[in-house]
Structure 1
């Protein structure tokens, strides 16, 4: 897996508040599925892929004890 400094800096959410897209620190806008592939291939720092209760893969911020940098707290774009 490659090392990267690229991070998620903003998100888009649907009417239910679920994240549907991400904006990266290098200016790319990624759908959730494209972001998932980028995280799995090591292109995005400070996040990982976990499993939701329904068994689907979900993008999560790496735990660091600071709730203020949770993906849900990122600004909208």
Structure 2
């Protein structure tokens, strides 16, 4: 999920709850972020390859940047 000339962190792994919802992220530098912490960092531009969007329910969610490669979607990342 990282562009070759982009020095920002990326998400390397996810933690999911029993319903399969992502609850936390591990970054490319090994930091663990809660979903809310990750949302703040993505919104501030600190994390590459991910964007925040407002769902139909009015909540803000994270998703991988659309690049046509389903293997790097957030749900496809390894779990930790």
**Do Structure 1 and Structure 2 share a fold, with TM-score over 0.5?**
yes
Root mean square deviation, CA, Å: 1.1
- Closer, same or farther in 2 for the Cα pair 1:38/1:4, shift >3 Å? farther
Matches within 5 A, 1:1-77: 4-77=7-80
Provide TM-score, normalisation by structure 2. Answer: 0.89
Unaligned runs of 5+ in 1: none
User: How far off its partner does 1:51 sit?
Assistant: 1.5
Q: Which 4+ stretches in 1 moved above 3 angstroms?
A: none
- Number of residue-to-residue matches in the alignment: 75
Unaligned runs of 5+ in 2: 1-5
Provide TM-score, normalisation by structure 1. Answer: 0.92
